[in-house]
Homo-oligomer: A and B are copies of this chain.
Amino acid sequence: MLARNRTVGRFTNAKSNTFESDLPEFEPYNKGLEPRGTQDEATKAANLSVLSVDMRVTENKAEHITDKYKNTNLIVRRNKEFTIIIKFDRDFNKEQDNVVMEFLIGSKPDENKDTYITISIGKEKRDVSWKSRVINIQGKDVTVGITPDPSCIVGRFRSFTVVVSDLGKQRTPRNPDTDVYVLFNPWDSADQVYMQKEEDRQEYVLNDVGVIFIGDFSEVSSRPWNYGQFEQGILDACLLILDAAKVPLVYRGNATEVIRQASALLNAQDDNGVLIGNWSGEYSEGTSPTAWTGSTEILLKYAKEGATPVAFAQCWVFAGVLNTFLRCLGLPARVITNYASAHDNTGNLKTDIILDEDGKMDKERTRDSIWNYHCWNEVYMKRTDLPEKFWGWQVVDATPQETSDGLYRCGPTSVSAVKEGELSYPFDARFVFAELNSDVIYHKADKTGKTKIIYVDTAYVGKLTVTKRCNSNEYEDITSTYKYPEGSLKERETMQMAERRGVSIGNYFPLTEAGVDMEVQADVVKMGEDLKLNIKIKNQTTEKCTMSIILTGCVVFYTGVTSSVFKSENKDVTVEPSQTETLQISVQAVEYMRDLVEQSNLLFVVYGHIEELNQSLSSMKVVTLLPPALSIQITGTPQVGKELMVSVEFLNPYNFILKDVQLRLDGPGLIRTKLKKYRQIFPGGSIKFKESIIPLISGKKTLIAVLDCAELRQVTNEIKFEVLKKATVKPVTEEVEKETIEKERVVENVNNNP
C-alpha cells in the first residue's frame, strides 16, 4: 500500500499536524447484514451523555511548569499525569458505563502508529501507551488522571470523549478548547531529554532571554537575544515548522529526529525553512541579520505569512531561532560560540591561505575561510541510538554551510564523541571536528603560480568555545568539553583515533624549525579610531635574522570572507640572536573607514621572509572594532500594572550621515518587538526613543535595544530589572492580559519620521 501511494518528493506520506481528518460523532457497528443502530438508539442504549470536559488548564499548567506559555490551551509534559474532569448527565457507574477518551494527532490517526491514543475510563480496560486512572467520582463528575507515554509524539493532540454502547460509539464534537499540547519533559528521568539539575533546567529550558557571544577570541563581546519561547503564537509557529516540512509524526517523539529535522528546517536552503541566510551586505529586500532583537519577531512573521521564509539571517540568528524552537518544545538547549571556527569545504583538516608571489594574500585562490566566530546550538539528551558514553550535550547547527547527506544541516553530533575523535557515529561529527581542529596552511606562489607550503599553524583554529553561564550573562569556557589541551598526549591520541575513523590528518614536514616566531598584536579600539599593530618577532636561534615583512590589511566579514584590501606595507627588520624585536605599524581610521563592511572586522596577514635561512613565516590577526554606545534607561519602579518609561538614546559620533536606521526595542514577557525607523542621523546628531510599558507579569525582565543601518552593525544594549508584584489585591486575569496584547499589536506600527 505504502509503496504504491508514493509520489515524487520528500515526506509525501507524512501525516502532519495541520491536516485533520476526524472521526464521526456517531459511529455505528457494522456487523455484516445485521440492522445497524441509529444515533438516537445508541444514546438511549448507553443512557449516558457527556455534558462537558474541564481540562483544568490553570492547575495542570502550573503542575507541568508550562504556565509561562501564553496559550489558552492545556500544555503538558510527557510521562507526567494531568487531571481532567468529565461531567455526565447522570451519575457515573464505574462497573457498567463504558467511556473512552481519544487523543488524535495528524490526518490519519492510527493506533499502530501512536497517532490515535485511546484510554478507558469505564468498565473495559485495554493495553495502551498512555496510562489513565479514575481518581474520583462525585456523582456526575469524574476526575481522570492521564499520563502520556514518556516517548510519545510531541505536538498538539485533539481530544474526544466517547460513550460506548452495544450499538455504537457516541463521540463529543470536535472542540479546540480540549486540545492538548504534549512537550518533551526534562524533569522526568524516563524522558529522553531528562536533565538532573534544577538550575540547568531553569536556564536551558525556561530562560526566555539570553546573550550570544560574538567578536573575536581575544575580545569576546556579546549581544542580547530574546528567545521568547513562551510568547503568544510561538509554540504554534514551532509546530508549523515541522508541519510545513511534512515531518512524519512517527519521528516527532524522538528528540534525535526532531533535532536533525530542525537543523535543516531552520534554514530556507531546502524545504522552505524559516530563515534565508545572507552574507552579502545587501539586505534591502528584508531585515539585516544584525537588526533583530530576538526570535519572536521572526517566528511570528514566518507563521503569519504562511510558512514563508524570513529574510535575513547569519549564524547567531539561526542559532537564536533554533534555540527558541528547542526550548519551546521542551528540549534543553543553549547557544554556543566557537571562535576561529574553520569552515572547511574539502573534507580535510586544513584551511588553506594562499599568498601571492609578493607575500600578499591572494583573495581569489583562498577559498576556505576561518570564521571569526561561528554560532551553533547544543541540546542535552540521551542519544539512545549511540553508546551511553556519547550521551549528554549534542551539537546541532542550522546555519547552511555544507550539505550533510544532501541537505543543509548538521547534527546532532555528540560533543564527547568529537572530543575523543570517535567520528564514525552519526551525524556530521567530521564536520564539527574540522571546525575545531583544522590546521591553517599558508601557501606561497612563485611567479609561475605554483604554490608551496611555507608555514603551518596548528593552534589558530578552535582556540575558544563558549556559552552563556547559568543564571549569569558572563561566558563559560567550554573548550575543554570539545578538545583535549593543545599538545597533550590525549590530543595526539584523539588525532590518531580521528585518522582511524577516516579523517585525513595533514603530515607536514617540519617547517618551523627555523626557531623564529612571529606574532601580531593589537589593542582594542572603537570603530573610527586609529589603531596600532605590533608585530613581535622572536629570534630563538643563535644567528642574526634579516627579515623582510609584508603586511596586508583587509576588511573582512565575520565569516572570514575578505572584502577590499585597504593596506599593504613592507618593512625590513634585523633581529639579533635570542632577541625579540617589535615592529609597530599604524593604521589610520581614514584608511579603513571607507572600505568598512558590516561588523567592522579587520584582518591583517603578515608574511615574513628570513634572508639568512631562506625560510618564510606567516601569521594573521583579526581586529574587531567596537561599535559606538547605545543607551537604554528606565524611569519609574517596575511593577505589575504600573506605567514604566523606557528611553533609548544614540549619538552619531562619525563625520558621515547614518541612513535608513532601524531601532528595535524588545522585551520577552513585557512587550512585543517595537520597530522605529529613522531616515537619517546627521554627524553629531542624536536620536531619543521613548516608550511606555505596563508590565503584566512580575519577575526578572530584560529589555533589549538594537540599532542597525548599512554603515553600522551590531549596536546593541540591554537592561535587566525586577518587576514587582501588583500592589492592589485584584489579580491580573488572563482576560485582561489578552486584551492588552491585542492593544499592543495595534500600536506596533512603523514610524517613518525621525
Instruction: Name A's B-contacting residues (CB within 8 A).
Output: 1-4, 6, 8-11, 29, 31, 110-113, 118, 126, 164, 169, 250, 260-261, 264, 268-270, 277, 279-280, 343, 345-347, 352, 357, 366-369, 384-387, 400-401, 403, 405-407, 423-427, 430, 447-448, 450-452, 500-502, 557, 559, 561
Contact = CB atoms under 8 A, between A and B. Distances in A.
Contacts of A270: 8-10, 406
Nearest to A277: B6
Contact of A2 (B9, B343, B451): B343
Contacts of A425: 424-426
Nearest to A110: B367
B277 A3 contact: yes
A403 B269 contact: no
Nearest to A390: B424
A277 B113 CA distance: 25
6 contacts: A1-B369, A4-B561, A126-B450, A250-B347, A387-B424, A406-B407
A8 B385 contact: no
A110 B367 CA distance: 10
A346 B269 contact: no
B423 A426 contact: no
Given A164-B448, A345-B2, A401-B3, A502 B384 contact: yes
A413 to B, nearest CB: 12
Contacts of A430: 385
Contacts of A369: 1-3
A696 B501 CA distance: 48
Given A2-B561, A250-B346, A384-B501, 17 more contacts: A1-B367, A1-B561, A2-B368, A2-B369, A3-B277, A3-B343, A10-B270, A29-B448, A31-B357, A31-B447, A110-B367, A126-B452, A164-B448, A385-B501, A386-B424, A424-B425, A426-B427
Contacts of A6: 269, 277, 400
Nearest to A407: B406
A585 B611 CA distance: 98
A490 to B, nearest CB: 20
A260 B427 CA distance: 14
Contacts of A261: 406
Contacts of A352: 112
**Highest count of chain B CB atoms <10 Å: which of A112, A277, A427:** A112
Contact of A3 (B9, B118, B250, B559): B559
A386 to B, nearest CB: 5
A72 to B, nearest CB: 33
A736 B368 CA distance: 51
B424 A385 contact: yes
A403 B169 contact: no
The 9 closest A-B pairs by CB, nearest first: A385-B502, A384-B502, A3-B279, A405-B405, A4-B279, A3-B559, A386-B424, A112-B352, A426-B426
Contacts of A164: 448
Contacts of A559: 3-4
A277 B5 CA distance: 11
Contacts of A9: 269-270
**Highest count of chain B CB atoms <10 Å: which of A1, A111, A345, A366:** A1
B367 A448 contact: no
Contacts of A452: 126
A369 B367 CA distance: 49
A253 to B, nearest CB: 10
Contacts of A500: 387
A250 to B, nearest CB: 6
Nearest to A367: B1
A126 B451 CA distance: 9
Contacts of A407: 10, 405-407
Contacts of A401: 3
Given A346-B113, A385-B502, A406 B279 contact: no
